[in-house]
Structure 1
Amino acid sequence: MDINVWLGQLMTITMIALALGFDAFSLGIGIGLRGIRYLHILKLSVVIGLFHILMPIGGMLTGKMMSVVLGEWATVAAGVLLILLGLHMIVNSLKEEETQLFDHRTFWGLMLLAFSVSVDSFSVGITLGMFQLPLWITVLLFGCFGALMAMLGLTVGKRVSHSLGEYGETLGGVILVVFGIYFIV
């Protein structure tokens, strides 16, 4: 593979990982504002990072199967998926109501929280599976960014106002929409 192509793919994966991490960041701020111990910050961040690795793997495997079926339309379908996911993130960030249906300190609450912020990683994994990007680099970046952004959001949430989290999720959605348009064009 040409070094320029590889670097371009690496930059694309990194930006998508960052965009997906903003979801964990914004949720982390919301939880952090309610008060959280540093041990819980570490535990939540690690579990969210693991889910940001596992969910795209499942999505990429699904995406590889879809690319065989969709053929040359795979790139357009991938771009449309990214745009829809980005728009969904933007709309969710603009909603005013926020409810917490689970306690992140319990095992099932932790699993549900990690799953909820990683579902979009599955969708993006489907898209990335259509592009034949390196699996191990992709999932490691997704996991690292998911964990780091969750940790940052939880820590910042302990100290600052809630409005920053909404902007973080909006920015993540905008980044996904831009990449979706790039894939289509």
Structure 2
Amino acid sequence: MQTMRWRHAFRIAFAFGFFQALMPLLGWFAGSQLVTFLQRWEHWVAFFLLSYVGGKMIWESFFSDECEKKSCVEFPVLFLMSIVTSLDALAVGITLGVLQTAIVLPALVIGGVTFGVCFVGVYVGHRLQSISTTFQEKRFEWIGGIVLIGIGLRIVIEHLMKGI
């Protein structure tokens, strides 16, 4: 098991906080030009990406050795997860852009809160993981994969329920 340092927790929190703040800004600038397209497809993109990452986590919890696992602080993994989990913030930004509402303060609040929650969550989660057995660790990874797939399903179901 890797040692979690403050800088790792900071790196993860920064990546998630940065993209949670950036996506509403990008969405706001995109505004009404892309609103129809994004409303039609963003939920499916989020669902498939979250399902892929969640499915990969579940697979690796059963069939991967510890030395084969990629670290969550490696750039490609962190970049993908940060973008995927901030797609809903992009939709918020588009909505605020269409409504011609101010965006800077909401984006800073979203990014700041995300940073704080991620920093504490990663650090505390790692501490809890450090007292767990290998079996429990694999179970945590499996549960994490299920949670990501569940988030993707929630996004799709909420979108489909709007049409009813």
Deviation at 1:141, TM superposition (A): 5.3
Counterpart residue number, 1:85: 46
Alignment of 1:4-153 (within 5 A): 34-67=2-35, 74=36, 77-95=38-56, 96-97=59-60, 99-100=69-70, 104=73, 114-120=78-84, 123-132=87-96, 134=101, 135-136=103-104, 138-140=106-108, 142-151=110-119, 152-153=121-122
Alignment RMSD (CA, Å) = 3.4
Distance 1:38 1:150 in 2: 12
Q: Which runs of 5 or more structure 2 residues have no equivalent in the other structure?
A: 130-136
Counterpart residue number, 1:176: 155
Q: Relative to 1, partners in 2 of residues 1:92 and 1:148: Cα closer, same or farther, differing over 3 Å?
A: same
Q: Calculate the TM-score normalised by the size of structure 1.
A: 0.55
Distance 2:109 2:143 in 1: 23
1:23-72 deviation per Cα after TM superposition (whole angstroms, max 9, x unaligned): xxxxxxxxxx52211343134313431232113322332243223xxxxx
Q: Which runs of 5 or more structure 1 residues have no equivalent in the other structure?
A: 1-32, 68-73
Distance 1:119 1:44 in 2: 12
List 4+ stretches of structure 1 deviating above 6 A.
none
Distance 1:81 1:115 in 2: 18
Count of equivalent residues: 140
Distance 2:72 2:145 in 1: 21
Decide whether the 8 Å contact of 1:48 with 1:146 is kept in 2. yes
Decide whether the 8 Å contact of 2:12 with 2:118 is kept in 1. yes
Taking only the aligned residue pairs, the percentage that are identical comes to 14
Counterpart residue number, 1:155: 124
- Structure number with greater Rg is 2
Q: Calculate the TM-score normalised by the size of structure 2.
A: 0.61
